[in-house]
A = this chain, B = another copy of it.
Amino acid sequence: MAFNINDVLSDFPILSQRVNDERLAYLDNAATAQRPRQVLAALQDFYIHDNANVHRGVHTLAERATEDYEGARVKVQHFINARSSAEVIFTKGCTDALNLVAASYGEANIQAGDEIVISIMEHHSNLIPWQQLARRKHATLKYIGLTAQGQLDMAAARRQITDRTKIVAVTHASNVLGTVNPLKELAVLAHQHKAVIVGDGAQAVGHMPVDVQDLDVDFYAFSGHKMMGPMGIGVLYGKAALLRAMPPYQYGGEMIGDVHRDDSTWADIPFKFEAGTQNVAGAVGLGAAVDYLQGLGMDNIQARERELVTAVLPRLTALPYVTVYGPQDPRQHTGVLAFNLAHLHPHDVATALDMEGVAIRAGHHCAQPLMEKLGVTATARASFAFYNTREDTDQLIRAIKETKEFFNRGTI
């Protein structure tokens, strides 16, 4: 571990609070991460010094705000290694970004009889937009299934992706199983069949190095709030040529070329896709998050999360009443762990763990088709970030054991 955990912890004051009179172990990072004080300071600094609307202003604050905003775009560009900052579109979040692609690219390029291929482990945000697009267009939505080990079935992918396939949309990392999908291989497959590939990076960016040119994805979407940035900001990366050819998604200020009474023309990318006043402060905060993550080093962050999973996963699987979904090998895992306790509903588990200060999530994790596939209606999910500690893993295991005991006895 190349960074000092105590330094890191001092950047996240929210983590040092107590909940329900217990030490907080925040293990709900896949839902939303916490933000370091550097990101909060960037937000405040922007609002206290430079706040103005961007691009159209001639005055000093507007110019500063524009520099801040476009500077953040360049930071994101370098972080994911996009060719050009024009390929980085700021959105409200990952869901907004995926809807943009489905509505703009999908609406323009999908026809009756075409196929859209996604995986069974998709989050609803990378599933319903394609499902509804397919329904509107009388296209077919096809699913890539899982192997017995809870990984994407690449043999099935090779069968499912055909010359009728126009779009392949797959998550880079599962928000339930903790698996990392071979996006690069899928991109090759998709391109062999002249389809475009959309990567859902919500659970990948901020947890592992991501290089969109190396992955050769055509689109890639992610959220600021899951990578230590503010809420209300996200990114759609797209290859310039594709973005240029796409119609706008939303209409309004800042995205126009010329507006006449009966028709309008559009600005160049990225502005064509940024209608209305953008979340400038959010972009600035995201830029600060990128700086923070790069300061720690993405390799270090990934190693740290793997170390935590390596510590906790075997202890979890060793409990006879615990079922862990997804790969059992820590090396094939992000910090996301889904599990259930026998004869106990995950909601009851989550309430009990909360009493012990352990914040986990319970439910379908916006992945109902995956739940169906796994034969459950819901699971518990603990998800780790680089600022979690061995103490957090201990607290989780202890709380699970006590929960089991509590419900075994019926009452304490």
Contact A59 B93 (CB under 8 A): no
From DSSP, what is the main secondary structure of chain A's interface residues? mixed
List residues of chain B with CB within 8 A of the CB of A231: 232, 277-282
Within 8 A of B (CB), among A245-295: 250-254, 256, 258-264, 275-282
Min C-beta distance of A114 to chain B, whole Å:
16
Min C-beta distance of A233 to chain B, whole Å:
6
Which of these binds chain B: A120-128, A166-174, A176-184?
A120-128
Q: Mark A110-147, 1 if CB is under 8 A from B, else 0.
A: 00000000000001110111011001000001010000
Contact A252 B52 (CB under 8 A): no
- The reply on A313 being an interface residue by CB < 8 A is no
Chain B residue at minimum C-beta to C-beta distance from A92: B92
- The reply on A19 being an interface residue by CB < 8 A is yes
- The reply on A359 being an interface residue by CB < 8 A is yes
List residues of chain B with CB within 8 A of the CB of A48: 13-14, 40
17 extra interface residue pairs, beta carbon distance < 8 Å, beyond A24-B61, A32-B51, A61-B359? A14-B51, A20-B60, A28-B62, A32-B53, A32-B277, A58-B347, A62-B361, A95-B252, A95-B277, A125-B252, A128-B252, A128-B264, A131-B264, A141-B261, A253-B366, A260-B368, A260-B369
Q: Per a CB cutoff under 8 Å, which of B61, B253, B261, B353 touches A19?
A: B61
Task: State A132–B35 Cα separation when bound (angstroms).
Answer: 39
- The reply on A209 being an interface residue by CB < 8 A is no
List residues of chain B with CB within 8 A of the CB of A95: 250-253, 275-277
- The reply on A49 being an interface residue by CB < 8 A is yes
- The reply on A206 being an interface residue by CB < 8 A is no
Contact B49 A28 (CB under 8 A): no
List residues of chain B with CB within 8 A of the CB of A396: none
Chain B residue at minimum C-beta to C-beta distance from A14: B48
List residues of chain B with CB within 8 A of the CB of A96: 92, 250, 275-276
List residues of chain B with CB within 8 A of the CB of A135: 262-263
